[in-house]
Structure 1
Amino acid sequence: MQKQQNIIKSYINAYNNFGIDGMLATLDESIVFENITDGKLTMTLKGINEFKIQAEYGKALFSSRRQTITDFKDASQHTEIEINYHAVLATDLPNGMKKGHELNLKGRSIFKFTENKIVYIRDES
């Protein structure tokens, strides 16, 4: 399980540094990403190409962003992390949030692996 935790740490570190190539390096070609907000599925991405497009879009939205892992929970089929999330918007959003607005959230992410790559991520906030 330590190997999987290290892969997750690499992914989070790349995310925090806007390192799309570093994020992609940890992912399997068939990655499935799901985002859950307030108990509702808000996004599903299938495959590394869809993930890359979304990562590039997301990079432009924030002037800074940081996920901080507060806990790891290893299970037989997956690894779950608890996170604190802080970000600052780089642009105005259609939902009314303005450039410079700070987001502070708590959430969790579930990671599944195939060999030495992440094959599934579910972000919940």
Structure 2
Amino acid sequence: MAAKVIKPLTVLAMENEKREKLIEAYLAAYNSKDVKGMIEHLDERVVFKNFSSGALTHFFEGKNAFKKQAEEALDYFSERKQTVEFITHREGESEVRISYWAIAAVDFPNGINKGQEIELKGKSIFKFTDSKISEIEDFS
């Protein structure tokens, strides 16, 4: 059995700080509807999954597929904001508890109407490869 390498606390703290900066930059771009800024922090092979009430609602792979979906989603909300409540770091991933607020710009099939304010809590799990975000799983 191979010995487990334990990294010094200062190295882990630096890694966590880098992750938080990536996440903060991604969310700042999301909040300002800056798709170019969002994808800047993503790995070319990024995987995105969205779960709502436990069911997978969206799945796509690759930066181009992510960009296409992000551009389409710009029209869904006239305003939107994700706010980080707290972050838990684990090996290879960071779990971010998020408050989400938006104003619908269209009528949605689930009964949300144009102009309606939306507030919810959720979490996102970010995974990383080579100083880029390689996977995002959103749960609401």
State the TM-score, normalized to the length of structure 1: 0.97
Larger Rg computed on CA atoms: 2
Name the counterpart of 1:12.
27
Superposition deviation, residue 4 in structure 1: 0.6
Name the counterpart of 1:107.
122
Pick the aligned partner of 1:116 from 131, 136, 140.
Answer: 131
Deviation per residue, 1:55-99 (Å, 9 max, x gap): 011111100000000001000120010000001011222333211
Distance 1:52 1:94 in 2: 23
Within a 5 Å distance, the mapping from 1:37-48 to structure 2 comes to 37-48=52-63
- The SS at the match of 1:60 is coil
Name the counterpart of 1:66.
81
Distance 2:120 2:105 in 1: 17
Name the counterpart of 1:91.
106
Within a 5 Å distance, the mapping from 1:25-44 to structure 2 comes to 25-44=40-59
Which residues of structure 1 form unaligned runs of 5+?
A: none
Distance 2:95 2:110 in 1: 30
- The SS at the match of 1:121 is strand
Distance 1:40 1:26 in 2: 27
Moved over 4 A (4+): none
- Using CA pairs under 8 Å that are at least 6 residues apart, name the structure with larger relative contact order, 1 or 2: 1
Which residues of structure 2 form unaligned runs of 5+?
A: 1-15
Superposition deviation, residue 116 in structure 1: 1.2
- The SS at the match of 1:13 is helix
Deviates more, 1:89-98 or 1:73-82: 89-98
Sequence identity (%): 44
Distance 1:94 1:2 in 2: 40
Name the counterpart of 2:72.
57
How large is the Cα RMSD of the aligned pairs? Answer: 0.8
Name the counterpart of 2:90.
75
